[in-house]
Amino acid sequence: MSAVHAMLRAWPANPRDNLPLTLWNSAEIADATDGVASHAFQASGIEMDSRDVCPGDLFIALKGEAMDGHKFIAAAFSKGAVAAIVDRPVDFPHVLVKDTTQALIDLAHAGRSRCQGVRIAVTGSVGKTGVKEAIFNSLDRASRGSAHRSVRSYNNHVGVPLSLARLPARAEYGVFEMGMNHAGEIAPLADHVRPNVAVITTIAPAHIENLGSMEAIADEKAQIFTGLAKGGTAVIPADSEYTPRIVEHARKLGVNVVTFGRSADADVRLLDAIPSANGGSLVTADLGDTRLCYSVAEPGEHWIANSLGVMAAVRAAGGDLASAGLALAEMGGLKGRGARFNIAVPGGKALLVDESYNANPASMRATLRAIGQTPAHRRVAVLGSMMELGDFGPKFHRQLAEPIGEAKIDHVILVGDEMRALAGQLGKASIGPLGIVPSFDHCEGPAEAILALEEFGLTHGDAVLVKGSNSVGLGRLVTHFTNASA
């Protein structure tokens, strides 16, 4: 026997090598859902929206309050679906079940059970999608493509099971985002995933209209720990006034606790952060038994804190910290969550920062602070209403005058009825560091805001922040100016 043959025979066995390469086959789906398959097939993906179906996908015909996915089965197959999960016989390959929503949950649980990889769950009032992506990029780099995560913001009662059902059997890591609007929504999601590591990014007054108080928000976010597997780890921000409350939730459940932040007693503690040439930061952190120095490509102090949470989660998951550092150094902004565009304007280029997907008081302050630290000829903020603040809304909108002044914003375009409170504040107060009030416009919607920004007239060297709740529709403004520049 040659030396090469001997080496091959001695190659260590990996139990994952015996797991299927395809995502699901008809027999596995039927067994998981207690359904009946009409044909034998193999599926490489799962989709619930016929518009997003790719060749090889399994289409799940979900039934909602206003829409029935069974109406779009033909459309799904026209785009390459190999089969569908249905609650009635159809003239296409399918698995017949009693209830398609329950079938999705059953398939999610089967996906979780067959995969022996480490599962990480992420929630928080601010930053959960970015942190989820950063953890995924870190683990995917280290595992050479064997990590999986929720796409987009699939973080609710449908998105989380769908993400779990998409979990490949051979995945070494799975990263899942969890969101909520009301009390009682996080715990069921945590029970679906049953994570080994659960991360809370921060606590802020998002959805306070429905929860009623900051304490209630903290309590609800802490429910992510109820799903932690035995020996699991809770990753908790150390710098919040609600940290003791959240830690108490975790301690009562008997899980490991790792804190991160600037606090002197944080387990993953910031030692130093200095601005880097690309607009990000060079961070030095103390992890107790080691120190790390790494770059964060994303600008803003909030991303310095996020990076500490990423490092804590990656370490708890058994990942590679060096790979995490490289991932943070290379990570760019996501669409609607920090993506940066250089748009053509008279005389050259202007910077447009797209934060149009979501907004609450904490994230507004963080992004205004970041744009204030961005070198620019003039700074412009297009700010849309912050939704789901209830009776707290006028107060939180008025309070944005302070960070606008601190960021030295030259012109503000306010969009939405809720922004009238801030318009009134800007109209009567001297908020700048020299007592200077920025010029401002108030618009009813994105179409009017587009005209207002065009009338303002961007020039070379300007920087524009676009941020608001998704329902305001400021993504249309971003699309208008980026397409015009293309």
Angle (nearest 5°) at CA 430 between 351 and 422: 65
Does 211 lie in the same domain as 86?
A: no
pTM for the predicted model, two decimal places: 0.86
Q: Is residue 3 part of a domain?
A: no
Domain that holds residue 420: 339-485
- pLDDT level of residue 142 (50, 70, 90 thresholds): very high
Instruction: Answer yes or no: do 174 and 262 share one domain.
Output: yes
9 domain residue, yes or no: no
pLDDT at 92: 96
Q: Which of 297, 330, 363 is the last residue of a domain?
A: 330
Residue 332: predicted pLDDT:
81
pLDDT band at 279 (very low <50, low <70, confident <90, very high): confident
- CATH code, domain carrying 83: 3.40.1390.10
Looking at the structure, tell me whether residues 256 and 361 fall in a common domain.
no
Q: Name, in order, each residue with C-beta under 8 angstroms of 438's C-beta and a sequence gap of 6 or more.
A: 404, 405, 409, 410, 411, 412, 426, 431, 432
166 has pLDDT over 90:
yes
Q: Which of 59, 82, 57 is nearest to 70 (CA)?
A: 59
Round the average pLDDT of the chain to a whole number and report it: 92
* Cβ–Cβ under 8 Å, residues 32 and 164: no
List pLDDT tens digits, range 144-154: 999 999 998 79
Helices H / strands E in the chain, number of each: 18, 22
CA distances, 25 to each of 15, 43, 97, 151, 193 (Å): 20, 6, 16, 22, 22
CB atoms within 10 A of CB 89: 10
Q: Is pLDDT above 80 for 114?
A: yes
Distance, in Å, from the CA atom of 184 to the CA atom of 182, rounded to the nearest integer, reads: 6
Check residues 140 and 212 and name the one with the higher pLDDT. Answer: 140
Do 265 and 187 share a domain, yes or no? yes
- Count of CB atoms situated within 10 Å of the CB of 253: 15
Q: Reduced to 3 states, what is the DSSP secondary structure of residue 48?
A: coil
**pLDDT at residue 12 above 70?**
no
What lies within 8 Å, CB to CB, of 18 at 6+ separation is none
Residue in the structure block whose two tokens are 């009635």: 88
Could you tell me if 279 and 362 lie in one domain? no
Last residue of a domain, one of 310, 330, 350: 330
pLDDT digits (tens, 9 = 90+) for 329-358: 998 877 888 889 999 999 999 999 999 988
Q: Is the pLDDT confidence value at 438 over 90?
A: no
State how beta strands 24-25 and 42-43 pair: antiparallel
